[in-house]
Amino acid sequence: MKSDCIQTTTCQERKKDPMEMFHSGQLVKVCAPMVRYSKLAFRTLVRKYSCDLCYTPMIVAADFVRSVKARDSEFTTNQGDCPLIVQFAANDARLLSDAARIVCPYANGIDINCGCPQRWAMAEGYGACLINKPELVQDMVKQVRNQVENPRFSVSIKIRIHDDLTRTVDLCRKAEATGVSWITVHGRTVEERHQPVHYEAIKIIKDNASIPVIANGDIRSLKEAENVRHITGTDGVMVARGLLANPAMFAGYEETPLKCVSDWVDIALELGTPYICFHQHLMYMMEKITSRQEKRVFNALSSTSAVLDYLRDHYGI
């Protein structure tokens, strides 16, 4: 677990406590947990462009607790990486609370993944299968609350919805009663992938909750984010693919500005981002600003130096 040993109090002293953000009345703009992508370098980039709160990629709590190697590879942070939520996949309250205690000095809170629909995750008892196990979710929240001494350390959940929305509302009420700080709702069922997001379902959940709720699903511009907030009444919006395509989205840009591409190059090189990740992010970011022919050439580049030469020659970066 590589870090500059940032303490949670540092974030609080800088008035970056997520709960204060949610109660400010302003739309809280959140970078979603994305496997491989929402790592330190990308979080650093989106924070430069008006992202308020960032999540780590999902980390399997059991591996994180048992393996120093897993901790070092899965969780990297620094002093500017704040406020930060560490998302865990877990099905065991003790292991989750142990993981929460490990990251507590370096983050503002943890999130329990109750929404991942991938088969491997559900087969392990992680992710979206937890929306059918409210008692287990409650137990995990309680254990973390009991084990982490910092009262401002948040414990949140990210869920998908049931076909029968009364079950989702019941889950959220039980989680709230146990001490969940906020709930992020991806407005699709476990079976749904590319179908339209059920924003009206998120609104019903928000109307039945007394804690902050974040809306998630198919938000690709700041205007869409504000519209979703208007429809749902939520306190924040969480974005995944929209930010991959345009990390400056929350600052109001319709497509990735070249300054953002330049910033990514500087950040990625400074933090030692592996080439595949460095290149992949650029392919997403430049999707709308390159021709089909340019994409073919750029996507085939195979080294950092080749990418840097291309950006310099074609875009003056």
In the chain, the percentage of residues whose pLDDT exceeds 70 is 95
Q: What is the pLDDT averaged over residues 49-62? A: 98
35 is in an annotated binding site: yes
Instruction: For 29, list phi and psi in degrees, rounded to 5.
Output: -100, 120
Give the model's confidence band at 2: pLDDT under 50 very low, under 70 low, under 90 confident, else very high: low
In the chain, the percentage of residues whose pLDDT exceeds 90 is 93
HEC readout, the chain: CECCCCCHHHHHHCCCCHHHHHCCCCCEEEECCCCCCCCHHHHHHHHHCCCCEEECCCEEHHHHHHCHHHHHHHCECCCCCCCEEEEEECCCHHHHHHHHHHHHHHCCEEEEEECCCCHHHHHCCCHHHHHHCHHHHHHHHHHHHHHCCCCCCEEEEEEECCCCHHHHHHHHHHHHHHCCCCEEEECCCCCCCCCCCCHHHHHHHHHCCCCCEEEECCCCCHHHHHHHHHHHCCCEEEECHHHHHCCCHHHCCCCCCHHHHHHHHHHHHHHCCCHHHHHHHHHHHCCCCCCHHHHHHHHCCCCHHHHHHHHHHHHCC
Tokens of 245: 């395509």
* pLDDT at 12 (0 to 100): 42
280 is in an annotated binding site: no
Q: What is the pLDDT averaged over residues 179-185? A: 98
Opening angle at CA 9, ends 6 and 13, nearest 5: 110
Q: What is the pLDDT averaged over residues 81-110? A: 97
87 is in an annotated binding site: yes
Tokens of 42: 């990308």
pLDDT exceeds 90 at position 170: yes
Q: Which residues are catalytic?
A: 116
Q: What is the pLDDT of residues 240-299, one digit of tens each?
A: 999 999 999 999 999 999 999 999 999 999 999 999 999 999 999 999 989 999 999 999
23 is in an annotated binding site: no
> Between the CA of residue 8 and those of 21, 80, 147, 224, what are the distances in Å?
16, 12, 16, 32
Give the model's confidence band at 16: pLDDT under 50 very low, under 70 low, under 90 confident, else very high: confident
240 is in an annotated binding site: yes
pTM: 0.94
> Between the CA of residue 274 and those of 58, 286, 299, what are the distances in Å?
19, 19, 16
Opening angle at CA 132, ends 127 and 134, nearest 5: 95
143 is in an annotated binding site: no
Q: Which amino acid is at 224?
A: E
Among residues 55, 56, 34, the alpha carbon closest in space to that of 241 is found at 34
137 is in an annotated binding site: no
Q: Which amino acid is at 208?
A: N
Give the model's confidence band at 193: pLDDT under 50 very low, under 70 low, under 90 confident, else very high: confident
